[in-house]
Structure 1
Amino acid sequence: MIPTKVIVRETSPRDGWQNLSFIETDVKVAVIEKIIDMGAPEIELTSFVNPKAVPQIQDANELTKRILGMKSEKKSDVKLTALVPNKKGADNAYAAGIRTIDLVVSVSELHNKRNVNKTVDESVASLREIMTDLPEDLEVRLALACVFGSPFGDEIDVDKVIRIIDESMKMGVRIVGLADSAGLSTPDHTANIIRRIKEHADLDKVAAHIHDTRGLGIANAYAAFQEGVFRFDSALGGLGGCPFIPGAAGNISTEDLVTMFNRMNIETGIDSEKMYDASLYLSQHVNGKYNSKMLDINKLKVKSEDK
């Protein structure tokens, strides 16, 4: 069944910015305020990993504190999430005030080793450790990387993906994110993988996290949507990319994804004009490799109006 409503999680503060030079916390806060104001239902705020590996997140605690305060002042119901690699990261996120975490596991053995220095089975064991000692008010999600292909050439076994999803759901994981981390998939491949997965898991517990390395991000998102997926990750400006995948491009552009759904009369809850304002502000204050058709269009529109 094709959804009539989608949930778009804005991932620029975590995934979108993680490869960039350090962005001052005040700038992050200003951008995130605009993201909240545009109506994003969920924001991936930061990650609680070693800042030596990802210097961008060195202000994770301060940023979380300030955004939680802003959320309270605005009486906003936006859901704030954070990525964690292990139990320690989960504990640190919880102590900072985060109540929804994503534990990342790659289904590619080579990528998982580079990403978190563990085998896939060791990462699944870390998930089990977290789930057995879990505060009642902490929601755990599983971020499965490289579901649609590995950049290192190792074959991805769909049966293994399904087994991990099944195990995680039995542990109490609420949502499983399926990531095309290297942007290798094609629409037919995306559809085929999701068809296999939905034979074993309800799609209301599945999200799509697709990168746009080969310019097929929106097409792959549409293929996932046609199969019944209604949860999507995206980043303003199409920023992002995994530090441990050479050549990986950014996420699907939020501007392009939301514009597509809005023009299809699919409910997103996101205000287009405020979204365009947020992306323009971001592009003016943060240096990065932007990849967003709607951002380009709106830059031209602003230039035309200024003449």
Structure 2
Amino acid sequence: MNLPKFVEMIEVCPRDGFQNIHDLIPFDTKVAVIKQLATAGYQRIEICSFVSPKAIPQMADAVEVVASTRDVLKSNGVKTAALVPNARGVETAVACGIDELTYVISVSEKHNMANVKRTPEESMEEFKALIGRYGDKVRFRLSLATALGCPFGEEIRTERVLEMAKFGFELGCEEVMIADTVGMANPVRVSSLMTALVHAYGPDKFIMHLHDTRGLALANTLAAMQLGLHKFESAVGGLGGCPFAPGAAGNVASEDVLNMLTEMGVETGVSADALNEAVMLIREGVHAPIVSHMAGLYKKSTCV
């Protein structure tokens, strides 16, 4: 099989995993989970989003969470990422010292309206302005939501995804994220879209963000890896879901991705033991089901 020798796993549980949970997660639990993940061997962790607490109450303490975890993340060599929806979010993130910012634009107009109450074109104009204002202060990456399927039935054309990726690269983004926001993709669709994108820009330019709504996230991961893609976002425990997309389930679970890659001989630098410790912290302090296959199977230095 045509597999990369190394895959970068990017952890998003503290942001995408936590944002859709109804019961507010205690501040100390958030901090403990992030500190535990900081020891797992990740290069990057998305730790929060700087959004209106009215829209996403779970992120109301984002500034405090960053302040309480920044030193541990830095000492472990972990770069911090955060999602930002607007100029206010960027200003706060820059002030907090976040290393890279994710700006989301949906390929689907209906989803973009539900998510940020703007058309994709309006979001693109704002992103262009943000790059012009803050591009010399922080690294931006563009996330193309619903790139592999729209929950509102809108057709997602490969040509449109190519156009929006080109827009991001021309603005100076080093990476564009391709997000299966509600888990509608299948391996054939992933292969079709990513073949076109890799042909145009190469595999190093893209991050895959896959949800497991229909149980196909690992299969979709493998389909993308066959094309040389080697950067994947996941959430420990399989937590997550978009608050503005009907039927959205959790992200692909980090421990399941890690198990698959390890069994196939693909290096990640991520510790299964450390992930299992994070799962146990979530079980104790977060009112949400752990849906991964591998959670709890790992013990210290032993697989049972």
1:189, CA displacement in angstroms? 1.0
Between 1:6-15 and 1:92-101, the stretch displaced more is 92-101
- State the TM-score, normalizing by the size of structure 1: 0.94
Between 1:265-274 and 1:51-60, the stretch displaced more is 265-274
1:135, CA displacement in angstroms? 4.8
Q: Is 1:234 matched up with 2:242? A: no
Quick check: 1:276–1:295 contact (8 Å CA) kept in 2? Answer: yes
Name the CA distance, whole Å, in 1 between partners of 2:274 and 2:53: 32
1:70, CA displacement in angstroms? 2.4
Q: Is 1:141 matched up with 2:176? A: no
Which residue type is aligned with residue 250 of structure 2? G
Q: 1:289 — aligned with what?
A: 289
Q: 1:19 — aligned with what?
A: 20
Quick check: 2:209–2:233 contact (8 Å CA) kept in 1? Answer: yes
Name the CA distance, whole Å, in 2 between partners of 1:151 and 1:10: 24
Between 1:235-244 and 1:20-29, the stretch displaced more is 20-29
Structure 2: state its 5+ residue gaps: none
1:264, CA displacement in angstroms? 1.2
Q: 1:53 — aligned with what?
A: 55
1:211-239 Cα distance to aligned partner (Å, 9 max, x none): 00001111111111111110000001100
1:289, CA displacement in angstroms? 2.7
- Secondary structure of the residue that 1:240 maps to in structure 2? coil
1:84, CA displacement in angstroms? 0.6
Q: 2:201 — aligned with what?
A: 201
Q: 2:114 — aligned with what?
A: 114
Quick check: 1:178–1:207 contact (8 Å CA) kept in 2? Answer: yes
Name the CA distance, whole Å, in 2 between partners of 1:167 and 1:274: 38
Name the CA distance, whole Å, in 2 between partners of 1:11 and 1:250: 11
Name the CA distance, whole Å, in 2 between partners of 1:184 and 1:241: 13
- Secondary structure of the residue that 1:200 maps to in structure 2? helix
Alignment size in residue pairs? 299
1:87, CA displacement in angstroms? 2.0
Between 1:128-137 and 1:150-159, the stretch displaced more is 128-137
Name the CA distance, whole Å, in 2 between partners of 1:292 and 1:250: 10
- State the TM-score, normalizing by the size of structure 2: 0.95
Name the CA distance, whole Å, in 2 between partners of 1:275 and 1:298: 9
Q: 1:77 — aligned with what?
A: 77
Q: 1:259 — aligned with what?
A: 259
Name the CA distance, whole Å, in 2 between partners of 1:71 and 1:247: 33
1:51-103 Cα distance to aligned partner (Å, 9 max, x none): 1000000001101111113234xx22101100011222111111121120000
Q: 2:160 — aligned with what?
A: 160
1:220-267 Cα distance to aligned partner (Å, 9 max, x none): 111111111100000011000000111110000000001111111111
Name the CA distance, whole Å, in 2 between partners of 1:132 and 1:184: 34
Quick check: 1:65–1:97 contact (8 Å CA) kept in 2? Answer: no
Quick check: 2:237–2:279 contact (8 Å CA) kept in 1? Answer: yes
What's the RMSD between the two structures over aligned residues? Answer: 1.6
